[in-house]
Structure formats: C-alpha cells, structure tokens
Copies of this chain bind each other. A is one copy, B any other.
Amino acid sequence: MSAVVDAGLPYGFQEQGRRFVLNSPTAMPQASTFLWNRRMLLQLNCRGYATAQFMQPEPAKYAHAPTLEAKSFMQPEQPYYAHHPGRFCYVKDEDGGLLFSAPHAPVNRAPEVFAFSVGQGDVAWTVQCDGIEVELSVRLPLEDVAELWTVRVRNRSGRPRRISLYPYFPVGYLSWMNQSGRYRADLGGIVCDSVAPYQKVADYFRQREFKDRTVLLHERKPDAWEANQAGFEGEGGLNAPTAITACERLAGGDALYETPAAVLQYRVVLAAEGEETFRFVFAPVRDDAETAALRARYLSEEGFAAAAAAHASYLDEGRGCLRIETPDPWLDDFANHWLPRQVYYHGDCNRLTTDPQTRNYLQDHMGMAYLRPRMARAAFLHALSQQEPSGAMPDGILLIEGAELKYINQVPHTDHCVWLPVCLQAYLDETGDDALLETAVTDREGDTASVAERIDRAMDWLLQARDARGLSYIAQGDWCDPMNMVGWKGRGVSGWLSLASAHALRLWAAVCARSGRTAQAVRFEAGAEALNAAVNAHLWDGDWYGRGITDDGVAFGVRADSEGRIYLNPQSWAMLSGAADAPRRARMLVAVDAQLVSPYGVAMLDPPYTGMREDVGRLTQKFPGSAENGAVYNHAAAFYLHSLYKVGEGDRAWNVLRAMLSGPDPEDCVRRGQLPVFVPNYYRGAWRLHPRTAGRSSQLFNTGTAAWMYRCLVEELFGLRGDGQTLRIAPQLPSHWPRARAWRRFRDAEFEVEIERVAGRTETRVAVDGQWLEGDAFSGIEAGRRYRVRVELPSEAGPA
C-alpha cells in the first residue's frame, strides 16, 4: 500500500492509508488539510498558504494578511493570493542565480518533483527544482501553541552546489496600535511585537495577557535575516524579492510600526547528495520568558521527536471503534483513519470556539460517543446545565467563564431541543449507560433535575412551541441558519422542525418506555403522532413534503415554487419520524432522485435561489450553489443517508455516501479540489446553473457531517449498533459488494466481523463465535473478550 495511484493524476494513500500524497501543486490549487491540538488549529494548503488560529480564549491569529483583517467565523472557500499568510522557503542558486520557492508559492516555479504529503499528525512537502530538493514538514506539540518546522535540503544534482535558503514566514499586519519586528540574538530568532488594539478600558483587562508577539526561532544561527516585509520585497515583489535577487545577504532590517516579516538566510554548500537540516519554531508568545521556554523545550532533534510522540499518542486516543476492509480501499482508508480523526477534532476541540452552537455541540459529541464516550457524557451534562427554565435550550453552549454568544448565536433558532434525544440515543446505544438518565444536573438558576426530567422539559418545550395547526414555530431559523425571515414575525412554521420534533419525541418516548416511565412515553408518543399528522395535513405537497409555511401563511419548498421547490431535509426526517408511509416514501425518493441528486451528491434544495425572497430570508440571497443555497450540503446529505438506511434503502444510501467523498477518480477529485482526508461541509451545487464550479469543495472541515457519517458507517453500513444491552448486527452493504470485513470495539469487547454474500440465501443470518443467532441481536457481551462474527447476506443482483 505504499505506492501512489499510478493512473491519471498521481496521488493516493500511503502507509496503510495514514498518509495522503498529492504530486502536483497546480492540479488542485485549493487542496488543504489541517493539524490541531487542544489550543490551536493550522490549516495548510498544498501550495504553502496557511491559516492558523489559537485560543486566548477567543480564536486569534499570529500570522495575518498584510491588511487589517475582519474578525469573523471561519470563511469557507477563502481565496488565496500572493500575500496570503503562508509558510515558505525560497532557494537561490548562488552560482546560477535560479530562484524557486517551496512548497510552490510565491515564485510558482514548475517543480521537477512535488509531493504534498498529508499525515495524521504532520504535513510534509518534497519539492525539487534544478536538482535541489527541499523537504518541509510541520507538526504541532500537544500542549503549546507552536508550529514545529523542519527544513531539509538535499543536493540531487550530482554536482557540488552553493545555495542560499530563505525560510520566509509572513507575519502581516499585527496591529494599528503597535507593531514591530527585529532579530533578537539573545532569543535566537525574529521577534515581532505588537499590542492588540483596544479603545474601551474594560478591553485592556481582557487583553493584557494576550500573546501579542509572533516569533520565528531557529536552531542553527542564520547567516543573515530580515524583519521588514517591504525591505524584503523591494521593487521585485514576492515573486522575486529584491533582498534575494539583488543582494548577497539579507540586510538585517527591522520593522518599526511597519509590516513585519520573518525571513532568515542560510548560505549552504552541498556536495553531491549532501544534505542539511534546519529546525524552527513559529509561534505566538507573551514575552521573553515564554519565548525562551519554547526554544528550550523544542528546538532540538530530541525536542521535536518528543513533541511528535506526544501528539501521536493524543491522536491515537481518538482512533475510533471501527476498522473496515471492503472492496473500496479509498473508503477503507477514509473510514479507518481520516473520518475518526475529523470526528475527534470536533469532539475534543469543539471547533475551537468558546460558544459552539447547541446543535453542533450535541452532534459533535454524538460522534464522540464512538471515540471517547466519557467526554460525550460530560458534554451532554454540560449542555443540559445551560437549559433555560422554560425547557428551551440556548442557541449556543458557553464553554468557559466569560464566553459570550456571538455571530449566529445571537439569532433565535428553535431546533436545539431536538438534538438532545437524537444525539443521546447514539450515546446510549453505544454505551448502554442508562444511569446517565438519572444523573442530576443543576442549571444556572440553581435548579436541579435529572437528565431524564430535563429532556422531558425540552420535549414539552417543543410541544408547546407550535401554532394552532400543530406545526413548530421557526422564529429566525431552525437547523438552516439563514432561513431567517420565514418566521421572524412569530407566525411562520418549519415543516422540517415539526418532523424532527416528531422523531425526537418518538426516540425519547422509547427511552421513557424502557425505563418504566410509561406516562411520559405515552405523552411524547402522542405528541409525535400529532406532529406527523399536522405535517401530513398541511405540508404534504403530492410528491414530497414542503419546507415550511411563512409568517404570511405561504407554504414554500413546494411544487408551486420556481426556486427552492424541493428541500432535502423534510424528506429525510419524514422517513425518520414515520410521517411518510410507504407510498409517500416511494414518491419522495423519486422526487429526490429527479430533482436533488446531482453528479456531485444530493443538493440541499433545488432549484437554487437566484434572488431575494423576503419571506424566506438570507438563504435566498446566498450565492446559488454556495453553502446552503442549492449546495451539496453534506450535513443534510448525511441526514438523508441516515434516513435511507433506516428505511432499508442500502443501495441508495451507498450512492449518497460515496458522493460525499473524493475518491480515486482524478477528474472528480480535481473538480472538487478535495483531498480525501476530511469531508467538507459542502460541495458547490447549482450544477445546472453554474456547471463550471459545481462540485468544488468548500475546504471547510467544521461540519456535523463527520459525526453522522461515522455513525452511519458503524451502525448502518456495517450494522454494528448497540441496543440496550445487546449488539444488533445487521449490515447494509451495497449490493455490488460480495464481502467485507470489520473490526469493532463495543462495550470493551472486540468483534471481528466477516460479512459475505452467499449464493441462494434469501435472509441474512448472523453467527457469533460459530453460534447462529436468532434474529440480529447478540447479548451477554463480556468486556475484554474477542468475538468472531460471521454475517451471511442474501446474494442479490446490484450495480457492478
């Protein structure tokens, strides 16, 4: 498995799927990956551009654009340009004068060899121009906010060479109040100081411990340096900096309230095949003491190695509960290594925010139930401790003292309660930890109630937040943030939320019934039925369910609409809630296939809006095919996936699942610009309207998709789902797979599962350790044991 794919575009998985290598800097210029620890995040682009954030306690940057940047949530599809922050190394031939930069930008010289090699805990590039090979790699330590960079240069030209290496780390516009940069011999590197601007006194006290200094520290003393961006570029600009092309040595300039930069120069003489290694730390720090401490801790071969080991064992703790081996090796690599990594990032770091949206927080920890269930448990309890007296859940969960609801969390949404039973269900299935339900939770008012009582209240809140028709109010949004004007006047309702509430109520009614709380079970089951009935009465549009009814009583997401005629979510959740009977399901699936399924996955709605619809809101102003407006929005696609499995549509589900991933087809991969190392929040849609850009990845790895996809893989595709004290074993392999294998950790036992289609079988049967089961449930699981499971599936004709 160590060779890259040799057909088409040269890229592929290596090291048993734990690395991904791309061998072109131009084929997918937006392709990116990310590294993180609990304090920071580093998104890296194949050409060397980078976006780094750390928590102090709100997300902050230490390398900026050369202009005053807006403070904003993470921007998807963020454009790169020559001066975008990045990490680069220029190389100049001291004899011939040839100049290139690794990884690729800013010089953009066509390389002889290029590899962008993405590991689980590191990113590396190998770039060769004119016989000089540069290897760049970066890792993060576990506890500190710092980037650990290694630059290795090798002479592959077969003759002696004299070169200069110039690691160039743009630092950008730090602050209009105070910024500078200079070389500090005593600290061993370039030190860029600043003071975060403020105008109100209170902000001073909030900011005074900020890490306002950005440093580039070296292990080996450089021959020269430059700390002034303009001094570095001169008239030549970034593509041919005057300080490199016209000067033997960097001038040692400083930045005095000017844009700083961190550039070092090493003059290196290399024999044929000679090589040299350099190590650097790039980091935000508070002061000299912190700078010196970072240097002492990391700047040596041993320091780097210890950091790598610590980070690797951190990652190992999130490795997941499933390993698979299928006829689709790309899926195997993604599901075994990359998807759990992405789920782990979400659950352990909460997307590096201090106020995650409640629905995101709960779904991210739904994913965590399969990786580190104790953390998921703690998160559910934490969320419930912020339940409001009315039973409603707030728009965001505050994670630290002093955090505030920001951005979209200041806009009232009505769906947050739904996610409590939906996500808890996954946790209870996975752990069997019904004791959680009796755990007492004290809220901010000092009121104490059990988890079960709190969820009862949340369900009662959902039941009362309905109009006379029995449909759920949407206020300024439900799951879909920008549908902000359907119900802002207080009357509009959401078809999706009504169905999601019905689903949540039914899930919770079942939990109540299991724990002997019959009255609640009956009440919530009745509530679910009433919701389903109301939706069927008011929003069934003949072939599919409408999305909602506006403040003015106009149903939308219906046949009569020329834009936004059909939405995916109501169809998915009507299958989950039971609102759709079999004939309706069949009509809906035909409608989805005909209208929403695109070459790049299932769109969230269609046709995309091309102009403002004031009674729907800013969704309709979004660019057609961007984010929610007609995109292949993977979070919604994942709901659909889940619902298809729940109604036994395994083959349809497989097609949805596969379209959510970049795969071995070079054309598709290039179009998406997406390495198969994470599932992005969306692919561009509007494929009929804007075919040129449809399918392109947002490059944004923050998405509830990851948790749902993992859940579907574990519980549905491989059908290894907990249920009370049993393991249900009911795989739904696509019909063209003859066999597959899986390893599953469950309740501290291990299950080795072999699934095979057997000619002539008409019903699935399951054996554990050679014993055929009655039905699909295996009970009496003993912790520490290893079970061998064999599943025989009926043989069916399916797509090749």
Contact = CB atoms under 8 A, between A and B. Distances in A.
A623 B684 contact: no
A284 to B, nearest CB: 17
Nearest to A170: B81
B199 A625 contact: no
A598 interface: no
B70 A68 contact: yes
Binding site secondary structure of chain A: loop
Contacts of A239: 237, 239-240
A75 B258 contact: no
A621 interface: yes
A235 B47 CA distance: 11
Given A108-B235, A180-B623, A693 B257 contact: yes
Interface string A69-81: 1111001111101
A361 interface: no
A200 interface: yes
A425 interface: no
Interface string A227-245: 0011000011111100000
Nearest to A26: B235
A548 interface: no
A173 interface: yes
Contacts of A314: none
Given A71-B70, A485-B201, A623-B177, A692 B82 contact: no
A65 interface: yes
Nearest to A236: B108
B621 A177 contact: yes
A180 to B, nearest CB: 7
A618 interface: yes
Interface stretch (A405-413, A447-455, A766-774): A405-413
Interface string A748-760: 0000000000000
A391 interface: no
A639 interface: no
Interface residues of A, number: 68
A556 B488 CA distance: 55
A66 interface: yes
A612 B205 CA distance: 12
A179 interface: yes
Interface string A170-210: 00010011111000000000000001001111001000100
B256 A690 contact: yes
Contacts of A199: 407-408, 410-411, 481-482, 484, 618
A408 B203 CA distance: 13
B626 A178 contact: yes
A110 B177 CA distance: 34
A590 to B, nearest CB: 30
Given A69-B67, A83-B81, A200-B411, A256 B692 contact: yes
Interface of A: 26, 65-72, 75-79, 81-84, 106, 108, 110, 173, 176-180, 195, 198-201, 204, 208, 229-230, 235-240, 256-259, 407-408, 410-411, 476, 481-482, 484-485, 488, 612, 617-618, 621-623, 625-626, 684, 690, 692-693
24 contacts: A26-B235, A66-B79, A67-B67, A67-B81, A68-B69, A68-B72, A68-B75, A70-B70, A72-B176, A79-B229, A82-B237, A106-B237, A108-B236, A177-B621, A177-B622, A199-B482, A199-B618, A204-B617, A256-B623, A256-B690, A256-B692, A257-B623, A257-B625, A257-B684
